[in-house]
Chain A
């Protein structure tokens, strides 16, 4: 559905994007992730045809954005960063205007505008001036503007920034719903958001594409996911010695001492070996009571930080 081929964007001597390529299939929800200034917005602006890359090509549904922008742009609904809107129009006037510039047929225009207003939950405020709407509603108006004209691809730049938690969940479920019949690219620096909504994650740092994969694959790939948290009652502090004696154990660390006298340790082992069985057996032998034992979950956050750091070292 979207193909980005070797795009490079230079501003004078600064390189904003460096030879970035990726493909997004139809119906996927893809998260574009990266620290501030990594090139997320630049990538989105190039895909939408707002700016031209210095080198490289973009195809939307097989149509070259640089050679046939009018046709390619018809397939795109774009919600730019910071939700720019015309404050002196009402929500409905804005959506109608967007329908107009996206060349929605006059005959069905009214009906389509009404449908979208309904879909985005703007019915109650459709006749209010955009300038007087709350941030959450502005976001919805911008989303409605992107949705009108039945684009196949939705590109949302930081769709949940500046919203309160309730609005964030609402917008997220709206995006999920839209993902059923649209291909969606959204950028974000909130990782939990991306891991919740997206099928695929693209990580960009300093203008370079670092990784493209599913959120769970990224978590597994990048982390030595063989750490175990154990909470034990261990009055004589024998645990460290015992556990360090077990084969394949790399490190034992005390995490917390709880008020009830129990202690939590983090035990990390070599790759691929599940240590839980051995640890359980050896601790039981020494009469150390285990209150809790769990595998540590690698989070996308950690994966992200690791990838970004690795990228920085190059």
Chain B
């Protein structure tokens, strides 16, 4: 499993994908740093993440759309699926590799925290909780993106399914209050206020687990219909 994590992580940075993702995120993050924090002279590090989450919604597919779709298209899937590695390990490895990129991105954002520390006293607890919430949101996003990637051999379609689902889940609460808890971004917003809501945490984690299990099932099922 380690071999796959290493290879996947490496190929994020052998191709422009990893740099594009981190670069785009940090670029938008810098803009929000200016408009949400510098403009108001506040030290609320967590506010940038509130805007950052919307950016994440649109750029997560950059990381996830290739995960299985590309392997299927180029046929390298055959190498992976005929190795003694189980499908579960392969899926988890790819998930972890993508998560590593998110963690690196989060670590990069700490420089803004450093700047805030220099000019004022940001709330460390709230900031950490926000980072945790952001990681949970990213986990759910990646797992869904991976599921979409396992459904098709066309990366673009995988990307569109992913963004489509995220946007839908984002705006559903606008149509009816029933959907409030279905919106992943809404769940994240509570973390920004410094609350760790157990129900929300469990929702994020169970959504992630569900998507990973579905991905495994999709790949397992394809063995018999392929």
Q: Contact at A86–B11, with CB atoms within 8 Å?
A: yes
- Distance between Cα atoms of A99 and B7 in the complex (Å): 12
Which residues of chain A are near B77, meaning CB under 8 Å? 84
| Chain A: interface residue total (CB-CB under 8 A) | 32
A49 contacts partner chain B, Cβ-Cβ < 8 Å: yes
A78 contacts partner chain B, Cβ-Cβ < 8 Å: yes
Which residues of chain B are near A101, meaning CB under 8 Å? 3-4, 79-80, 83-85
Q: Contact at B78–A84, with CB atoms within 8 Å?
A: yes
- Distance between Cα atoms of A70 and B80 in the complex (Å): 12
Which residues of chain A are near B35, meaning CB under 8 Å? none
In the complex, residue of chain A having the shortest beta-carbon distance to the beta carbon of B81: A50
Q: Contact at A84–B84, with CB atoms within 8 Å?
A: no
B15 contacts partner chain A, Cβ-Cβ < 8 Å: yes
A100 contacts partner chain B, Cβ-Cβ < 8 Å: yes
Which of A54, A70, A78 is in CB contact (< 8 Å) with B79? A78
A73 contacts partner chain B, Cβ-Cβ < 8 Å: yes
Of the candidates B74, B81, B82, the one having the most CB atoms from chain A within 10 angstroms of its own CB is B82
Residues of A participating in the B interface, judged by any CB pair closer than 8 Å = 11, 45, 48-52, 54, 70-71, 73-74, 76, 78, 80-82, 84-86, 88-89, 93, 96-103, 145
Which of A48, A54, A96, A100 is in CB contact (< 8 Å) with B82? A48
Q: Contact at A100–B224, with CB atoms within 8 Å?
A: no
Q: Contact at B223–A51, with CB atoms within 8 Å?
A: yes
Q: Contact at B7–A70, with CB atoms within 8 Å?
A: no
B177 contacts partner chain A, Cβ-Cβ < 8 Å: no
Which residues of chain A are near B84, meaning CB under 8 Å? 70-71, 73-74, 101-103
Which residues of chain A are near B15, meaning CB under 8 Å? 88
B206 contacts partner chain A, Cβ-Cβ < 8 Å: no
Which residues of chain B are near A82, meaning CB under 8 Å? 75
Contacts known (A85-B76, A86-B11, A86-B76); A52 close to B82, Cβ less than 8 A: no
Pairs A–B under 8 Å by Cβ, sample size 15: A11-B225, A45-B78, A51-B226, A71-B84, A74-B84, A80-B75, A80-B79, A84-B74, A86-B11, A93-B10, A97-B4, A100-B2, A100-B3, A101-B83, A102-B83
Which residues of chain B are near A74, meaning CB under 8 Å? 84
CB distance from B209 to the nearest CB of A (A): 23
Q: Contact at B3–A50, with CB atoms within 8 Å?
A: no
B42 contacts partner chain A, Cβ-Cβ < 8 Å: no
Which residues of chain A are near B75, meaning CB under 8 Å? 80-82, 84
In the complex, residue of chain B having the shortest beta-carbon distance to the beta carbon of A53: B224
- Distance between Cα atoms of A50 and B11 in the complex (Å): 24
B86 contacts partner chain A, Cβ-Cβ < 8 Å: yes
Known contacts A80-B75, A80-B82; 20 additional CB pairs below 8 A are A51-B223, A70-B84, A71-B84, A73-B82, A80-B78, A80-B79, A81-B75, A82-B75, A84-B76, A84-B77, A84-B78, A84-B79, A86-B7, A89-B14, A96-B3, A100-B3, A101-B84, A101-B85, A103-B84, A145-B79
